[in-house]
Structure 1
């Protein structure tokens, strides 16, 4: 009869799958290596370019938002001339080269300041009309000297005069196109120099390119890196062909990338001796394609020469040795299971079927003494199959009437479970070393110095982002403090409320008197616990305990009179910065865990969960942050190191770096640090790739062994153990237990045959018991009919 399942499928599947794991091991390990520049180096350069692009995007958006806020806050009167408004709104940050006020209806210029506006090719009227009253995105153009210029736009709302005709005549405007029924506007346009983003790392250069691949500016780095603004794509010095093609390739990739994500990538340049150029590119446009930089078409390209990786050992030899060992183990296991389990079970199946056929062919239920019944049952050597074979041989003898029920044979120590355990140990002996011992990568030896330097460069970039964010908040607060009066700052909430609505990075704004008491507050409840009135302006933390750290910018409110300062006089304006905004500033892909610490190395902000004012998670990080401190009066310098598994956070190796927050600006004297730690296992190095693939091969082998041997134990070994108990009980004389087959396999077939043999034994015993009763009356009648003597 056909067998469903049985003992053969798991044994065959185990052999096939182990051979497949051996093949996967060869393919997985053979394809690693062969890179003269580690993938981790290329990934780090890509992230550095992405950080630089994010810096450009943040700078442009910040300048545009600042200009729009200044335009909204400016309130011209009916007597305000365009020249007066332009003089009041001209940015004083040093990057502005020229400005002008335009009529958005006709596009003609009403007033100008500085260098002429480079409006060639820019349709101001269409842009103002297409924006539907919303913000007008920045535009990129070139000035009279062919230098790149960034145009920023803002609207100035003018009051509706009582007599629009008279007002237009006072300002010298044409009345034919006027629209007195709607509020009039001026369009403020500011021309700025395009700032090249800062990059860190010795020998690293950066280039800023437009959509056509023209280099708008850059800093010198590796040979062939474009330098200052105005450098053309062809002026690459003595660099090779691949290095000269890097800008064009980067711009082409950026233009072809989807705008749904921040596009970035890495490129390889020429190799000269033992060094090779590695480049990273990133698009300045934000994800989603909405923002002031979405239509600029800017691309950042960074590049650096790194030492090529020394010749690594070919993993093909190791993979062939591991795969060959597994193949030998698979063949040994297959032979062992075939000759020790599969063949004995199949022979028992045939023997039991033969005995069942013999008893079924006999007349009146009596066994037929033919060759099937006379042939002995082959008994296996050990295990459950040996027990079943001995029981079948005993039952065969009982059917022939040669002897009575034998005592159940003793069990041998070795069985199917021991056989499966031996096979599992053989597979584990191959898998466990691959999981825990083979091809282990040690961070202190496999991480190249370039990776450590790149981590330090990215940590410096993170510190620069935090410094810019705090500096922007400080500038916003000082501008707000300069725009309010000490006479009304303690009573009028409108300026503070408007500033809080415009600057979502502030969680609370409040005014203090000379005693440190709050006179006026808008926003959330202040978190401050330090109640003093500082002098000057700057950045500070206003609490040293609590659930949420509080960092605040403060500025002195200018005095308008020489009167004495009383308890009701506003003195200082404070703005508490939302710590979540700083947390988002610290977050960058592939940088790891980043913390902002104070001068005592207590955590103020982080891109991971933390407790306020907790210490750094590991003492080595604290030591690294302490080593960044310089001499008295200096902010120190950045440091980086590889923390091994015994000294790294969370018990794993990591690449860590620490950098001072700022050397200049309002946060320079705070002594704060930015500390980062990235797990070494996350680096895309060949050694770690070989380690992970080796572990994967070991895990696959262990999984296949557990699955197939568990399948064999459930469907073969366990039913055989139960069948051996039933067969021994039947051979020992138990005729009352009915044997029901559970599985449609060899064990079920033997069970059905044993049930037929049990029925035959029961019929034989009944016949034997009925024979004396049939002969007793015949003997009595013979005595009665005999003559008396």
Structure 2
């Protein structure tokens, strides 16, 4: 017999799988939830750290790029005094704590603004080396750390100068919420800068402990540090568990500064910095996931599985093996004893045909009376028995998948998770606002350098470089006071001919089209009413919204129309009615929203914090199903559904296996056996598989050949004994 075919292997495998699944069910559905802090809360701290790392990395990269690009724009213009350069830089950007211009050859300080820039940390002799102008971290005498950024000012006929800017390692726009602290850590585990709830010594010590652990973990490879197939944040990130104080446990997260796309590097990403967060979370006593439910479900599976296996053994396996033995007996020539005919199904039809064939082998004519031939479809066949077994197992699996341990009945979303959803949404709202403000500042910097004597060719060169340096724009152009485009770079603008520059810093158009058009306008002071206009790529805005653990994120305007989102949406479609009340909140807001059997964690954060983008009055709305969170109730529900799906899969696999290798071949063989008993001696019977059904088919073929030999012998004898008179 075949090792993988026949009647025995599928039934044996089904019994083994059901017995194993019963053990898994008893253990999984009765598993105690020992974690005092749910996995959803710990995972949320990792996401908060990732948000902080993204904000810090974007801020530092933007500062470095802005300083380099500003120096390049000055280099393309007429030579300017150091004070003029610093004044224009200060008018456009207010992000640096201190700026300075230094003559490289002599080391003379030509001008300075803001706090003192640490010039002694700059080795002028190595500026020409590769990486000599790379940004660097400098520790001041007071213990604070500054990021020093360098850019080259070079005009023909003048000594080369160095434009220097220093900035602190702060987290722009990161909402910490209540009781959270955040810090920046270098590769040695030293906390370079920290903010938030660090009022007592214990909190500061805990942050330093987390910093040391995070620095070591941050040195791992970003790919190997994750589980195979895991996506999400491109850097190294994770969550940490700290000390317990009273009834609160300290949990934290860490994330290294990494580029937005895997495999890429940014200036800030090469600094070796890691962001660490910590917060105290209230502990809850352990709860059992109803262990009796697991025991009852496992016992029910054992009973139902035993019934199904016994049914298959008694109605399918034993009759088929009996047929196999009876058919072999007939092929050996043992024709004295009648064939034992099974009671029902295809086996009964084949048994009745074998009994008739036994009589024919003994010399009885084809139309001799034998046992009554069973009427087809009157009694259930093998397929019907398989359906009954499938229904039995489905009766166990379906309640587990659809009814048992439903989380919506008693789910409790941790308060800290709601707070984190609100804080992260506020952080994302500020990130979008700052990105728009940065975009407008870039246009203002370009506009301030375009004088009335700048030619169209020179303007095209400046606009082209701006478009290349900043991927946020779809097109950038200079618009005259009469509405005529004087120079442009990028795609064809969505500007109506003859329309003068807008007086608003930001405008949104494109209603009725496929995507919104977000336009920023910065007046050019020396061009008699002209302005530099930039149209943002909507993909740039949508990319800012993609965050792990926030669910679906949308940016909506004051009328509740969707401007951007991190997943599919229609431009200017209305926000779902269930989320509309969030827009009525004047400040950041988060809550748990229950709608029938659906439980969602939602939050909204309007633009706030200043800048020209505040005039848009947009709101960032996030909505996440609670079932996506690692909450004990949903973990229990998922294990219950998994047990039901495993049972259904085992039943489908084994019963389908039986249907393919036994039921279908047995049904076809029953028709062939009846035709053979009815006198069909020409149809050859081929076995489909090397198993019990195939063995019966081979026996029937041998019987057919023997009956053919008997028929030829009778025909020969008839011709031999024919009357001689017929030959005369």
1:520 aligns with 2:486: yes
Give the CA deviation at 1:51.
0.9
Give the CA deviation at 1:201.
2.0
Cα distance in 2 between the residues matched to 1:738 and 1:543 = 75
Quote the residue 1:206 is aligned against: 182
Give the CA deviation at 1:50.
1.0
Quote the residue 1:604 is aligned against: 563
Cα distance in 1 between the residues matched to 2:221 and 2:2 = 60
1:553 aligns with 2:520: yes
Quote the residue 2:392 is aligned against: 426
Quote the residue 2:218 is aligned against: 254
Quote the residue 2:416 is aligned against: 450
User: SS at the partner of 2:147?
Assistant: strand
- The CA deviation string for residues 389-441 of structure 1, in whole angstroms up to 9 with x for no partner, is 23333333454568934375123412212211111111111222222222222
Cα distance in 1 between the residues matched to 2:168 and 2:700 = 97
User: SS at the partner of 2:302?
Assistant: helix
Compare CA radii of gyration and give the structure with the larger one: 1
Give the CA deviation at 1:296.
2.9
1:621 aligns with 2:594: no
Quote the residue 1:307 is aligned against: 282
1:677 aligns with 2:674: no
How many pairs align? 708
Quote the residue 1:576 is aligned against: 535
User: SS at the partner of 1:387?
Assistant: helix
5+ residue gaps in structure 2?
225-233
1:14/1:708 contact within 8 Å kept: yes
Q: How does 1:232-631 map to 2 (within 5 A)?
A: 236-239=200-203, 245-256=209-220, 258=222, 261-286=234-259, 288=263, 290-314=265-289, 316-358=291-333, 372-400=334-362, 404-406=368-370, 408-411=372-375, 412-442=378-408, 445-485=411-451, 493-494=459-460, 495-512=462-479, 517-523=483-489, 524-528=491-495, 538-558=505-525, 569-616=528-575, 618-624=576-582, 626-628=583-585
Cα distance in 2 between the residues matched to 1:27 and 1:125 = 69
TM-score by length of 1: 0.80
User: SS at the partner of 1:343?
Assistant: helix
1:444/1:644 contact within 8 Å kept: no
- The CA deviation string for residues 524-553 of structure 1, in whole angstroms up to 9 with x for no partner, is 322246986577552222443423311122
Q: How does 1:705-784 map to 2 (within 5 A)?
A: 705-735=651-681, 737-761=683-707
1:408/1:728 contact within 8 Å kept: no
User: SS at the partner of 2:602?
Assistant: strand
Cα distance in 1 between the residues matched to 2:219 and 2:124 = 25
Work out which of the residue numbers 114, 120, 138 in structure 1 matches 2:135: 138
Cα distance in 2 between the residues matched to 1:502 and 1:661 = 26
Higher mean alpha-carbon deviation, 477-486 vs 294-303, is at 477-486
User: SS at the partner of 2:288?
Assistant: coil
Quote the residue 1:164 is aligned against: none
5+ residue gaps in structure 1?
162-183, 228-235, 359-371, 561-568, 629-635, 781-789
TM-score by length of 2: 0.86
Give the CA deviation at 1:716.
1.6
Cα distance in 2 between the residues matched to 1:63 and 1:546 = 35
Q: How does 1:170-209 map to 2 (within 5 A)?
A: 185-197=160-172, 198-209=174-185
1:196/1:218 contact within 8 Å kept: no
Change (3 A) 1:381 1:530: farther
User: SS at the partner of 2:515?
Assistant: coil
Change (3 A) 1:765 1:160: same
Cα distance in 2 between the residues matched to 1:666 and 1:741 = 82
1:71/1:156 contact within 8 Å kept: yes
2:49/2:275 contact within 8 Å kept: yes
Q: How does 1:658-697 map to 2 (within 5 A)?
A: 658-697=604-643
1:103/1:185 contact within 8 Å kept: yes
Quote the residue 1:175 is aligned against: none
Cα distance in 1 between the residues matched to 2:32 and 2:101 = 62
Cα distance in 2 between the residues matched to 1:259 and 1:755 = 62
Cα distance in 2 between the residues matched to 1:644 and 1:347 = 61
> What RMSD, in angstroms, separates the aligned Cα atoms of the two structures?
3.7
